[in-house]
Amino acid sequence: MTNPKKDNFIFPFEGLKHEGTIILLPYREDTWEDKGLKAFDEFKNIISKIALHEHVYVIKSPMVSYDTSSLHMENVSIHELDYDDSWARDNTLIFLKKDNSIRAVDFGFNAWGGKIDGLYSSWEDDNLLGEKLANMLNIEFYSDKNFILEGGSIHTNGFKTLLTTEACLLSKGRNSNLSKIEIENHLKEMLNIDKVLWIPHGIYNDETNEHVDNMACFLDENTILLASSKDKEDIQYKWSMEAKKILENETTALGNKINVILVNVPNPYLRLTKDEALKIKPIDGAKPRLEGDRLAASYVNFYMGNDFIILPKFNVKEDQEAYDILNNFYKGSKKIYQIESRNILVSGGNIHCITMQI
């Protein structure tokens, strides 16, 4: 194999039919309350809803200590592999397509910043996971381990346009040996992309260096859903308006004007409670989680397939607003499941972060 661009494999839009979804079960005590047990019901609920539409490949680490027998359901298979944490969006593979063939790219992973600002100090099992999954799924893959890239840091419209944030891809802990244009050219080659849309920031206090999948995503070829804030004094409002201006003055790779739809984050923003902070056990080299920390809650962090959407629910008034925006846009063509995901949020991500489409 040469590279995806030469082989004409494309990075497809998420909202199409999938071969399946990958989900890794949580277990780390420095990330998850009660070693993942508290979040397991949310994971199970998400798995059960996706399984109504497509196969779910549940990956279970030998470190998972709670009972998972309730996951033995139709359209779900359970496989055992080693990994350091359960953010399948970032430590698995990026899947590409040509006609009916699937290939993957196995990028390097260093826990969102390596020794500079990574979230834990050992990530070897995460970095080895992509190849193991490709072998398990019997999918050929391109190895690109010298280039650090997480799936949550990119979105595509499926028509050779990529969306990302400068805060993440230009961070010192990833590919600091490369310039912005060198990073862009590498993305074009390895993902068969013609145009990269850069916005400066993501969601404030997003510990991934502001992944784009918490901030903005394509709803279709020419429409981007962008997180914003009702509070004009909030830094999130400033960052979102900056992104909106950039995107509305940009075009896709095919030259089409971009339409931007805003969706508000919870207002007032959500914070980590004392009880939640106490139940996450800090260890050396891991990011501390402290009472009062601002949580990077966003409705953009949803997961979608051809006929479904799994949308975060925070039990605040903005839940309904987000539901209505997506339901109106897709005119009921995608079944929307709103699932409470507070425990996933507390651990640093949300529904899009724990899923990866094949």
Q: How far is CA 75 from CA 71, 95, 102, 133, 333, in A?
A: 10, 20, 20, 18, 22
Q: What is the pLDDT of residue 26?
A: 98
How high does pLDDT run on average in the chain?
96
pLDDT at 185 over 80: yes
**CB-side neighbour CA atoms (13 Å) of 150:** 33
Query: Could you give the CA distance from residue 233 to residue 230 in angstroms, rounded to a whole number?
Result: 9
CB distance 208 to 151 below 8 Å: no
- Quick check: 285 pLDDT over 80? no
Task: Give tens-digit pLDDT for 205-228.
Answer: 999 999 999 999 999 999 999 999
How far apart CA 352 and CA 213 sit, in angstroms, is: 7
Tokens 């912005």 found at: 180
Based on the residue annotation, tell me whether 353 is a catalytic residue of this protein.
yes
| SS3 at position 239 | helix
Q: Is the pLDDT of residue 321 over 90?
A: yes
pLDDT tens track for 294-317: 999 999 999 999 999 999 999 999
Per-residue pLDDT at 19 exceeds 90: yes
At 17, list the tokens.
């039919």
Residue 121: the pLDDT is 87
Q: List the structure tokens of 51.
A: 């399984």
Q: Give the count of alpha carbons within 13 A of 206, CB side only.
A: 29
- pLDDT above 70 covers a percentage of the chain that reads 99
At 1 the pLDDT is 67
270 DSSP 8-state letter: P
Rounded mean pLDDT of 248-272?
97
Q: pLDDT value at position 81?
A: 98
- pLDDT, tens digit (0-9, with 9 covering 90-100), for 24-49: 999 999 999 999 999 999 999 999 99
pLDDT in tens, 61-80: 999 999 999 999 999 999 99
Evaluate whether 288 touches 282 at the Cβ level (below 8 Å).
yes
Take residue 256 and report the two structure tokens written for it. 């089409």
Q: What is the pLDDT of residues 85-113, one digit of tens each?
A: 999 999 999 999 999 999 999 999 999 99
pTM of the model: 0.97
List 102, 193, 219, 353, catalytic entry? 353
pLDDT confidence of residue 354:
98
* In the chain, where the domains are located: 4-357
Give me the architecture of the 4-357 domain, per CATH. 5-stranded Propeller (3.75)
Give me the pLDDT at residue 247, please: 98
H/E stretch holding 125 reads: helix 124-137
